[in-house]
Amino acid sequence: MNVSIIKIGGNVIDFPEKLDEFLYLFSRFPGKKILIHGGGVLASKFGESLGVMPEMVDGRRITDKDTLDIVTMVYAGLINKQIVAKLQALKQNALGMTGADGNLIRSVKRPVKNIDYGFVGDIQEVNTDLLQTLLDADIIPVVCAITHDKKGQLLNTNADGIASEIATNLSKKFKVNLYFCFNKAGVLIDEKNENSIVPLINEEIYEELKKENVIHSGMIPKLDNAFAALQKGVNHVWIGKAENLLLASKGKLSGTTIERHKYDLY
């Protein structure tokens, strides 16, 4: 069985028209699939309206108790259920989930080192049997960025990391492709020029582009997750714009692609 893991972020979620367009494309995406989503910008807006100001370090959210309540309400409630309802309207039988549901994703609270991230989870275990049961029943899991520690504590967890961990764990049983949809056409040489896409990338090129500061900020953890997934058995990773998802599913060069069997081409 082939399985596609597709992750979307705020660049799609924060705009109702873009979300509707993406979910239509997602409904036409072939084969078994799992949708992973975040929603950080919307969570920040809700927090600010309640007097809880977001605190970020290196692009990662510091999650105190009040912030955890807000991201849980926004990710697991508002966003997740809106997506599921819209998919049902597109005749896609979807099931919205946190990592706590069905013990899908168990995490541990990130240990305090130089920074105390608060109630942030580092993933320890993924319930692939549950995912296989849902996929076999033609149910699409829609997983938000909340996990649990199996001791009663919910944890805010990076959505890119969730997508990567689900992909790598499922790759032990199936052929898995991982798609990261974000606001750029792919990995760019010039972030202001959407035509400067790096169509194929390997670790050597990645390290060189980081040294030259071509790749920086939020793209670094995204690519780190992509390479980690490939090293652990994922077949194929794609990074690009959500509107190009169907082109990517057909193998057309519409973003940046990383494939294990292409490493030796460089």
C-alpha 6/C-alpha 115 separation (Å) is 30
Cβ within 8 Å of residue 219, ≥6 positions away: 187
What's the number of domains the chain is made of?
1
CATH number at residue 114: 3.40.1160.10
β pairing state of 154-156 and 146-148: antiparallel
* Phi/psi of residue 183, nearest 5 degrees: -90, 5
Q: 162 or 57: which carries more pLDDT confidence? A: 162
Whether 202 and 266 have beta carbons less than 8 Å apart is answered as yes
Whether pLDDT at 178 is above 70: yes
Domain of residue 183 covers 2-265
- The pairing of strands 175-182 and 236-241 is parallel
Binding-site residues:
39-40, 61, 156
Q: What is the mean pLDDT of the chain?
A: 90
Binding-site residue positions for substrate = 39-40, 61, 156
Highest-scoring range by mean pLDDT, 9-13, 144-148, 253-257: 144-148
Statement: residue 17 has pLDDT above 70: yes
pLDDT band (50, 70, 90) for residue 217 = confident
Indicate whether 259 pLDDT > 70.
no
Q: pLDDT band at 56, cuts 50/70/90?
A: confident
What are the tens digits of pLDDT across the range 126-175?
Answer: 999 999 999 999 999 999 999 999 999 999 999 999 999 999 999 999 99
CA-based end-to-end distance of the chain? 30
Q: Phi first, then psi: what are they for 5, rounded to 5°?
A: -105, 120
Residue type at 225?
A: N
**Per residue in 123-135, pLDDT tens?**
999 999 999 999 9
Q: Is the model more confident about 134 or about 203? A: 134
Q: Give the lowest-confidence range in 34-48, 161-175, 176-190, 216-230.
A: 216-230
Q: For residue 7, count other CB atoms closer than 10 A to its CB.
A: 27
- What confidence category does residue 266 fall into, taking pLDDT thresholds of 50, 70 and 90? very low
pLDDT at 192: 80
Structure confidence at residue 201 as a pLDDT band (50, 70, 90): confident
pTM (two decimals): 0.92
**What is the pLDDT, as a whole number, of residue 253?**
64
CA distances to 77, 93, 159 from 82, in Å: 8, 13, 17
The whole-angstrom separation of Cα 75 and Cα 68 is 10
Given this model, what pLDDT does residue 263 score? 42
